[in-house]
Chain A
Amino acid sequence: MTTVSAPTRSRRFSKKKEDDDSGVHARRWFTPYLLIAPGTLWLLIFFIIPLFSLGRLSLKSGGFSNYSTVISDNSTVIVRTFVYASIATLAAIIIGYPLAYVIATKGGRFKNMLLALVVLPFFVTYLVRTLSWKILLFDGGPVVNILHGLGVLNENQGILGSPFAVVAALTYNFLPFMVLPIYVSLEKMDRRLLEAAADLYSSPARAFRRVTLPLSLPGLFAGTLLTFIPAAGDFVNSELLGSERTVMIGNIIEKNFGKEFFRPELSALSFMLMAIILVGVIIYARLLGTEELA
């Protein structure tokens, strides 16, 4: 601050500049608002207004009964959606945490290369990536053949169309979103803290539990949100790899939106999905206690 105010003060002595000075001051005061204006405007026009109109639409012609109707009509799908998203998120943690840990702590000079490999699938379109799983999993395809050979699956059983295929693909598609934030939080952790823990009689397991894990919670939290939210709203995986048995909320919204554009029940369903996720996130944040850590 002193470096900024020093020239201002010296300029104040020359009368000619005085008006400019106050102008600069006023503009300076305005600058932050100027900078956030485009973003605010963008969000207002393309997010807040549609959201508001969607909310109004969801209450049209039936009021709040639209919500109870939509919930009772789709209860199985709603439960299924959150079960799938939860399993996919959990699987992503189980696969992603060790991966992030190894890259962050043992990656050495290969760190960036390994990270690039994690992100590499993003270079292929989401749609094509998911479609390619169809080739992988179709009846008579390599994966099914191997599982038949091993006796894991009966001769008349396939994978395509099963909940397993949908959840596995959800996990695969959102895994990088889990790995990257966990990697970041582990990477910035001071490695000497583990030496300190060992010095203070902690076994490696206890040091992980009491030091590494708590310090990586912000990353784990971010990764969970980045995986769970899109997974809960996804329809592509179920559409391409699932069947009637695996319909998710996203599929219902997507299918019906095309046909009946302004149906209040659909708006209610969308709003409900959003509300459940929001409440879930708040509970999750409370449980992890990451608010003060982040």
Chain B
Amino acid sequence: MSTMNSSAPGAGSGYDPTTTVIEIDHVMKSFGDFTAVDDAHFSIAQGEFFSMLGPSGCGKTTTLRMIAGFEQPTSGAIRLDGVDVSRVPPNKRDVNTVFQQYALFPHMNVYDNVAFGPRSRKASKAEIAARVPELLEIVRLADFANRRPSQLSGGQQQRVALARALVNLPKALLLDEPLGALDLKLRHAMQFELKRIQREVGITFVYVTHDQEEALTMSDRIAVMSDGRVEQIGTPTEIYDSPASVFVAGFIGQANLWPGAVTSRTGESADITALGGASLSGRCHVDALRAGTDGVLMVRPERIMVTVDEATAAEQRVRGTVVDLTFQGPIVRLVLHAVDGTPIIANIDPDHDLPMLRPGDSVFASWSASAASVLPASPDQPLTATAVVDEG
């Protein structure tokens, strides 16, 4: 790969789940006493948009830096196209990084920034003269080739960083919170832009973010990380609908998390007693969950219906008292208290035929069993009031 592929971008092979590009093989990384990444084990496929999502300090950036070559794993191996690159310096790895603050070379103009990689690899002048403008075209910066980075806006700098990395047609592009420095509106625009560019060039993207919405919008698969551990890997739908842990449920979107006692476990479903003695059930994908253990019932607020009449309620239902009603534009946010005082959050959309409710009214909260998940209780993830009424 010392010469550049001169074929047009877009000739990339696209998402191919059966071909592994990056393999993280039981990787552990510690700095002194601190374990930054604890036994990470997963692989990333050809053309995949793969996100590592988690709060700051969860180990996602360290994992990315190990793939880039800026850090070496304490144990385990990182394979690129099947070759162990754990001890290979970054300049000899065929991956490129888009840095959090872009790290553009301030003394070079946009063109020279983008041409930096190809020139390092001693690509021919003709190749550089063909590829650099092509990439500037893709990121829509053709008219800015002679500008210095300091003369560009944040969004433009971001696209220069992208072009500078993509011009090398790496095996994978590593992005470290690339949209973090942009304002909200630009961030939304860039999400679509990134996705468009990724489809166009067909290169594997490994994307680090703490923004769950960003990850859900763009990714083929997401690895949710916490405290150095990978909590769950799956498609956005899997992660959202079937979280594997209380942490994942609370971190991605809003979730009602009700503690209870698991009464039975059969195959893909489990029964749990929660919300003041109600006998409820939900889907369950965690092998370790058995009858007699502590569990947590998770239902997303938008899956909950609120009715006054028990007859019209869905199969899974509990009685509750209205505590608070908040109009939030597209939805009405309803806070109920179950008989034992546990809060129940329901997001009601305007089409929902909701009777006039006042605080103190007695209602039924109900949902279908397929909307509920039973999760193992986590000792390090206590269900405080803020976790239950998580703003996401």
Contacts and interface: CB of A to CB of B under 8 A. Distances in A.
A is bound by B: yes
Interface of A: 190, 192-193, 195-203, 206, 210-211, 214-215, 293
Contacts of A199: 68-70, 90-91, 95-97, 165
B144 interface: no
Contact of A200 (B106, B107, B120): B120
B132 to A, nearest CB: 13
Contact of A192 (B91, B95, B99, B121): B99
6 contacts: A197-B116, A198-B70, A199-B90, A199-B91, A202-B91, A211-B105
A197 B104 CA distance: 10
Interface string B270-312: 0000000000000000000000000000000000000000000
Across the A-B interface, give the 8 residue pairs with the lowest CB-CB distance, nearest first. A200-B117, A201-B120, A196-B103, A192-B103, A198-B90, A202-B120, A199-B97, A198-B91
Interface string B97-122: 10101011111000000001100110
A193 B96 contact: no
Given A202-B120, A211-B105, A214-B107, A196 B168 contact: no
Interface residues of B, number: 24
B112 to A, nearest CB: 10
Contacts of A206: 120
Contacts of B70: 195, 198-199
Interface of A is mostly: helix
B116 A210 contact: yes
Nearest to A192: B103
B168 A195 contact: no
Given A199-B91, A200-B117, A293 B107 contact: yes
Contacts of B107: 214-215, 293
A200 B101 contact: no
B180 interface: no
Contacts of A202: 91, 116, 120
B181 to A, nearest CB: 13
A196 B116 CA distance: 10
Contacts of A192: 99, 101, 103
A201 B101 contact: no
Given A195-B70, A197-B116, A210-B116, A203 B103 contact: no
A200 B91 CA distance: 6
Nearest to B112: A210
A162 B153 CA distance: 59
Contacts of A190: 101, 103
B91 A196 contact: no
B17 interface: no
Given A202-B91, A203-B91, A196 B105 contact: yes
Contact of A195 (B90, B104, B120, B121): B90
B29 interface: no
Interface in B140-177: 164-165, 168
Contact of B103 (A193, A201, A293): A193
